[in-house]
Chains A and B, each alone.
Chain A
Amino acid sequence: MAAPSRKERQACWGARDEYWRCLDAHAEDAALCRRLRSSFEASCPQQWIKYFDKRRDYLKFKEKFEAGQFQPSESTTNS
């Protein structure tokens, strides 16, 4: 399988950013962003989707952590 070209990369990143913006707007409620999710999945290799999902989790955690809102006990019960 050939690596995505620059054009394909940009299409994938664009779809990802739109999906992420939707999640931002709807407090991470994926059910409300289903249409953008499928366009994101259609634009990126499967492996990248997994990677970007993890990356979003990480970025959210980082944001929370840096804002000082992170509570270890809460995260343990959540996960």
Chain B
Amino acid sequence: MLLLARGPKAKAWLWLCQLRPPVPPMTPGNEALHMRPRRHFSWQGPPQGPRLRTRLLITALFGAGLGGAWLAARAEKEQRRQQQRTEALRQAAVGQGDFSLLDHQGLTRCKADFRGQWVLMYFGFTHCPDICPDELEKLVQVVQQLEAKPGLPPVQPIFITVDPERDDVAAMARYVREFHPRLLGLTGSVEQVAQASRSYRVYYSAGPKDEDQDYIVDHSIAIYLLNPDGLFTDYYGRGRSAEQIADSVQQHMAAFRSVL
């Protein structure tokens, strides 16, 4: 860069010497004194052009170098952060949200069994008056909408009971088949259900029993989306429509990169 700069600089000085006008005779009075430097400047103008351009060029190159280095450092940092994130996700994907429950055919199921599948999961109970059937109906609509779109991976709908006392394997089988042929009902012992619900931060509490030994179970309402790594990816509350959920699931599918 220095060599490059020297060339035009030297030439400019040569040019300046040749073009310098003869020194005007000294004249008394302020006007003449003021005039001289002004003329002097106007003569020095053109040779300064290349010098200024060179300086600008050097500054620009230097700046670009600095900027490039900064960008490279930032990219490296970002890559490191991404690696850490992937590692954390990988650990979470394996450990988080695990469960061991019985499906509505009596087979033991744990989270790892659903690896490689997108899962939509809802917690409720079969004696639920209105919200659970509504939400399950919505969940099934989402699955059907996604099934209708070509090229999308299948989604496994799952219904987990929060009322293991009444919802045994047979009760779950009776219930789920009315919604979707692939809807899987999961139940288990009181402890197993408590553990599964805890993993997904689902609150539930059985209300008082009436003369018929009937009761309502109060519980949190959300549809959970798990990605094929088994990682909790999103959740949808009551306010979301089937269309909105299907759109969101599709976006997650498009953005999905396995960390396992």
Contacts and interface: CB of A to CB of B under 8 A. Distances in A.
Interface in B136-178: 166-167, 171, 174-175, 178
A78 interface: no
Contact of B212 (A6, A45, A55): A45
B216 A51 contact: yes
A3 B126 CA distance: 6
Interface string A21-61: 00000000000000000000000111110111001000000
Interface residues of A, number: 17
Nearest to B214: A47
Contacts of B212: 1, 45-47
A76 B136 CA distance: 38
A3 B127 contact: yes
29 contacts: A1-B212, A1-B213, A1-B214, A2-B171, A2-B174, A3-B126, A3-B127, A3-B167, A4-B127, A5-B174, A5-B178, A6-B133, A6-B178, A9-B133, A13-B130, A45-B214, A46-B210, A46-B211, A46-B212, A46-B214, A47-B127, A47-B129, A47-B210, A47-B212, A48-B129, A50-B210, A51-B129, A52-B130, A55-B130
Contacts of A52: 129-130
Interface of B: 126-127, 129-130, 133, 166-167, 171, 174-175, 178, 210-216
Contacts of B216: 47, 51
Interface of A: 1-6, 9, 13, 44-48, 50-52, 55
B93 to A, nearest CB: 34
Q: Give the dominant DSSP class at B's interface.
A: loop
Q: Give the dominant DSSP class at A's interface.
A: helix
A77 B251 CA distance: 52
A4 B129 CA distance: 9
Contact of A3 (B171, B210, B213): B171
A57 to B, nearest CB: 15
A51 B127 CA distance: 12
B215 A3 contact: no
B135 to A, nearest CB: 13
A4 B133 CA distance: 11
Contacts of B215: 47
A34 to B, nearest CB: 22
Residue from B130, B211, B215 whose CB has the most chain A CB atoms within 10 Å: B130
B218 to A, nearest CB: 10
Nearest to B178: A6
B219 to A, nearest CB: 13
B229 to A, nearest CB: 34
Nearest to B213: A1
A1 B133 CA distance: 18
Nearest to B133: A9
B126 to A, nearest CB: 4
Nearest to B137: A6
Contacts of A50: 210
A65 B178 CA distance: 37
